[in-house]
A and B are shown apart, each in its own frame.
Chain A
Amino acid sequence: MSFPSPLRSIRLTAVFGAVLLVGIPIVAITGLLSHVAYDPDLGRNNVVGDPGIFDFFLFDWPTHPSWLYAATQGIHVTLGIALFPVLLAKLWSVIPKLFEWPPARSPAHALDRLSLALLVGGVLFEFATGILNVQLYYPWHFGFVKAHYFGAWVFIAAFLFHLVVKVPAMTRALRTREQVIPAGEGSLTRRGLFALVGAGSATLLVVTAGQAVGGPLRRLAVLAPHGEDPGPGPNGFQVNKTAASVGIRPDQTDHRWRLRLAGPHGERALARADLAALGQHTYDLPIACVEGWSTTQRWTGVRLRDLAALAGAAAGGELHIQSLQKAGQFAQTTLAYNQFDDERSLLALRVNGADLSFDHGYPARIIVPALPGVHNTKWVGALEFRA
């Protein structure tokens, strides 16, 4: 059952282990940073429920540099996918241990193996759910975000123990030279196996990375879920959720649309023409999705800080944003003071010199630097500045 291979060795496992030792923490930390970027302690932003002890690392998510979330989340998804072949190779290299006999030599060995079940189950669960989520495929009954988040903590707990036990063995193995195996005719050498795993990672990178990196690489991202060219024109860039998919009707956004602006100065209703008559500002800012793709566009609109002044908002408050959309977790969101007070933070009316398209949030959408895409609310119906 274990399919013996002369290629397996402690050193081979150590090399794959060393790659994962660098890669997996980067994927884990960028994932945790995404949790931070959602500002779960504001309003109803929390999407994982009661955090228990797992909110000790939260901090105020900055707006500089504007590509911060595009970078952290692009790395989380893209590097995660590229590490998948390395993970498979690492598991291949140690799989005979799964079938060893007797199954437990001592209490320590039995507990070791229980911990390994959490480690392997955890890492496979995280890779599987993450990879399926970016393809919008949900063949399960649990909530993805919460499961992926706390599944990560189960994995992290087992991973830390694994490091304590195995890093010394890995370093020893990396220092030893091992016998070169004479390759049988036509079979793989160890070097050949490393090249094959590297080629697997490289292939996945080529067909995926462009949706996050952009530029000429975007054309190569032929299997990336958001690698397709969405068409020409000023609004020809990726849509996370179309108007139809969240139940926005055109008659909600026609000339009768009003923005409800609320704050200490009371409430007022602003037509799109009223907003267009306020000072307009233009910035190049990315929208960056939790699913690992991003795109930078030129947005024009009213500064949120100007609207804050109009509403009489005091320094240090929060901004609650309500979309016209009824469905979905992100029909509303709450921004921190540093986020709506950044001069580049806009209620955007236009993109690349044209009015926003219906799918990109017409009549008005939020654009804030370094904010996760789903918090850049589209089809904004109300802005409420709170103390």
Chain B
Amino acid sequence: MRRLYGASGLHLLALIASFALAAAALAHFLDTGAPINIVAWFVGAIVAHDLILFPLYTGLDRIAGRLEPKTRVPVVNHIRIPALLSGLLLIVYFPLILRLSAPAYERTTGLDPQVYLGRWLAITAGLFLGSAVAYAVRIRLTRG
């Protein structure tokens, strides 16, 4: 078994049970009005993460590391941390921030969809400002 299959019999049994349940769910999942579109979203979610988002943020991180000036107190984390937090907020709330659903949002909730961009920018500014202050304090401390 192990030589032919590559794992234990228990592995195979658990896998068959899992695939059976997944297949039953997939039958309903694909029956949601637009089967090609939903498969595109399912596969696209993997592609968007593994082949776009992941290389993008790791690549940006590498570039930031390369471009970092040689300073007595390393500065890279003071850019990396606020940039990652700000980017995280953007990835989660980009439809509101970029007003992608603004007409529907305003009609449905009666609320103003214009506020989110300014709020995200203000949070981003605050994060970088806080990081800059922390950096200034560290420079002061290493000098003393």
Interface residues, chain A, with chain B CB atoms under 8 Å away: 1, 3, 48-50, 52-54, 81, 84-85, 88, 91-92, 95, 98, 105-109, 111-112, 115, 117-118, 120-122, 124-125, 128-129, 131-132, 135-143, 146-147, 150-151, 153-154, 156-158, 160-161, 164-165, 185-188, 192, 196, 199-200, 203-204, 207, 222-223, 225-226, 228, 230, 238-242, 244-245, 359
Asked if B34 contacts A203 (CB within 8 A), the reply is: no
Q: Out of B5, B24, B50, name the residue touching A95 (CB < 8 Å).
A: B50
Q: Does B123 contact A (CB under 8 A)?
A: yes
Q: Add 20 more A-B contacts to A84-B88, A118-B22, A153-B29 (CB < 8 A).
A: A49-B31, A52-B28, A53-B24, A91-B54, A108-B12, A115-B15, A115-B18, A115-B19, A135-B101, A143-B32, A151-B25, A157-B18, A157-B19, A157-B25, A165-B14, A200-B84, A200-B85, A207-B123, A230-B110, A241-B108
Closest A residue by C-beta to B29? A150
Q: Out of B4, B24, B108, B120, name the residue touching A107 (CB < 8 Å).
A: B4
Enumerate chain B residues within 8 angstroms of A112, measured Cβ to Cβ: 7, 15
* B:92-118 near A, CB below 8 Å: 92-93, 95-97, 100-101, 104-105, 107-112, 115-116
Sample of 17 A–B contacts (CB below 8 Å): A49-B28, A84-B88, A109-B6, A112-B15, A121-B42, A122-B42, A124-B46, A124-B48, A140-B37, A140-B41, A147-B38, A153-B28, A200-B85, A223-B96, A225-B96, A241-B109, A244-B107
Asked if A240 contacts B109 (CB within 8 A), the reply is: yes
Q: How far is the CB of A19 from chain B (nearest CB, A)?
A: 16
Chain B 1-25: CB-based contact to A (< 8 A → 1; otherwise 0): 0001111001110110111011011
Q: Out of A151, A160, A207, name the residue touching B18 (CB < 8 Å).
A: A160
- Interface centre among B32, B34, B95, B107, by most chain A C-beta atoms within 10 angstroms, is B32
Enumerate chain A residues within 8 angstroms of B110, measured Cβ to Cβ: 230, 239, 242, 359
Instruction: Report the 9 A-B pairs with minimum CB-CB distance, sorted nearest first.
Output: A106-B6, A186-B74, A153-B25, A161-B18, A108-B6, A108-B7, A124-B45, A137-B95, A141-B34
Q: How many residues of B are counted as interface, with CB atoms below 8 angstroms from the partner's CB atoms?
A: 72
Enumerate chain A residues within 8 angstroms of B14, measured Cβ to Cβ: 161, 164-165
A107 and B110 alpha carbons, distance in the complex (Å):
55
Asked if B6 contacts A117 (CB within 8 A), the reply is: no
Asked if A223 contacts B119 (CB within 8 A), the reply is: yes
Asked if A140 contacts B34 (CB within 8 A), the reply is: yes
A112 and B11 alpha carbons, distance in the complex (Å):
9
Enumerate chain A residues within 8 angstroms of B59, measured Cβ to Cβ: 3
Known interface pairs A154-B26, A185-B74; A121-B43 also in contact (CB < 8 Å) = yes
A121 and B41 alpha carbons, distance in the complex (Å):
9
Asked if A153 contacts B100 (CB within 8 A), the reply is: no
A125 and B48 alpha carbons, distance in the complex (Å):
11
Q: How far is the CB of B96 from chain A (nearest CB, A)?
A: 5
A85 and B123 alpha carbons, distance in the complex (Å):
18
A107 and B25 alpha carbons, distance in the complex (Å):
24
Closest A residue by C-beta to B4? A107
Known interface pairs A53-B24, A154-B29, A240-B109; A141-B37 also in contact (CB < 8 Å) = yes
A54 and B65 alpha carbons, distance in the complex (Å):
50
Q: How far is the CB of A343 from chain B (nearest CB, A)?
A: 32
Q: Out of A3, A106, A146, A186, name the residue touching B77 (CB < 8 Å).
A: A186
Q: Out of B6, B21, B92, name the residue touching A81 (CB < 8 Å).
A: B92
A98 and B109 alpha carbons, distance in the complex (Å):
42
Asked if A228 contacts B88 (CB within 8 A), the reply is: no
Known interface pairs A115-B19, A141-B33, A158-B18; A95-B42 also in contact (CB < 8 Å) = no
Q: How far is the CB of B76 from chain A (nearest CB, A)?
A: 5
A161 and B104 alpha carbons, distance in the complex (Å):
40
Asked if B49 contacts A245 (CB within 8 A), the reply is: no
Enumerate chain A residues within 8 angstroms of B12, measured Cβ to Cβ: 108
Asked if B107 contacts A196 (CB within 8 A), the reply is: no
Q: Does B67 contact A (CB under 8 A)?
A: no
Closest B residue by C-beta to A228? B111
Q: How far is the CB of A115 from chain B (nearest CB, A)?
A: 6
Asked if B89 contacts A223 (CB within 8 A), the reply is: yes
Q: How far is the CB of A32 from chain B (nearest CB, A)?
A: 13
Enumerate chain B residues within 8 angstroms of A108, measured Cβ to Cβ: 5-7, 11-12
Q: Out of A125, A153, A240, name the residue touching B45 (CB < 8 Å).
A: A125
Asked if B42 contacts A222 (CB within 8 A), the reply is: no
Enumerate chain A residues within 8 angstroms of B26, measured Cβ to Cβ: 150, 154
A199 and B70 alpha carbons, distance in the complex (Å):
27
A98 and B88 alpha carbons, distance in the complex (Å):
23
* B:47-88 near A, CB below 8 Å: 48-50, 54-55, 58-59, 62, 65, 68, 74-77, 80-81, 84-85, 88
